[in-house]
Amino acid sequence: GAVVSQHPSRVICKSGTSVKIECRSLDFQATTMFWYRQFPKKSLMLMATSNEGSKATYEQGVEKDKFLINHASLTLSTLTVTSAHPEDSSFYICSAKVATYEQYFGPGTRLTVT
């Protein structure tokens, strides 16, 4: 089946710095990818929809200047958390759309901001 990878799997950064998370579709092309945030014991919250070659669509309440999304190719989308703060610590999960109602999910990235 379709495989989606994320890198890094874990990252620790200092407050005020930026960190980039990569999401790759390994064996298929994905014109649309999604970024979710998962809090402990909480459901996944959709942050934004990333479309190749165009600007990402952010969900209400998600700061587009803080969470920069770039989908420069059909197999790669990146999420950059800028000027990270401890409250940005979370589990970030990406998914790639393979069909109208199907997404394949990456394993997630644990971000800890100290």
Partner 1 sequence: AQSVTQPDIHITVSEGASLELRCNYSYGATPYLFWYVQSPGQGLQLLLKYFSGDTLVQGIKGFEAEFKRSQSSFNLRKPSVHWSDAAEYFCAVALNQAGTALIFGKGTTLSVSS
Which residues are near partner 1 by CB under 8 A? 4, 9, 32, 34, 41-46, 49, 93, 95, 97, 100-108
The residue behind tokens 């064996």 is 27
Q: Which is nearer to partner 1, 67 or 106 (CB)?
A: 106
Q: Which is nearer to partner 1, 32 or 89 (CB)?
A: 32
In whole angstroms, the minimum distance from the beta carbon of 99 to partner 1 comes to 9
Query: In angstroms, rounded to a whole number, what is the distance separating the alpha carbons of residues 75 and 55?
Result: 16
In whole angstroms, the minimum distance from the beta carbon of 15 to partner 1 comes to 27
Secondary structure (3-state) at 94 = strand
H/E stretch holding 23 reads: strand 19-25
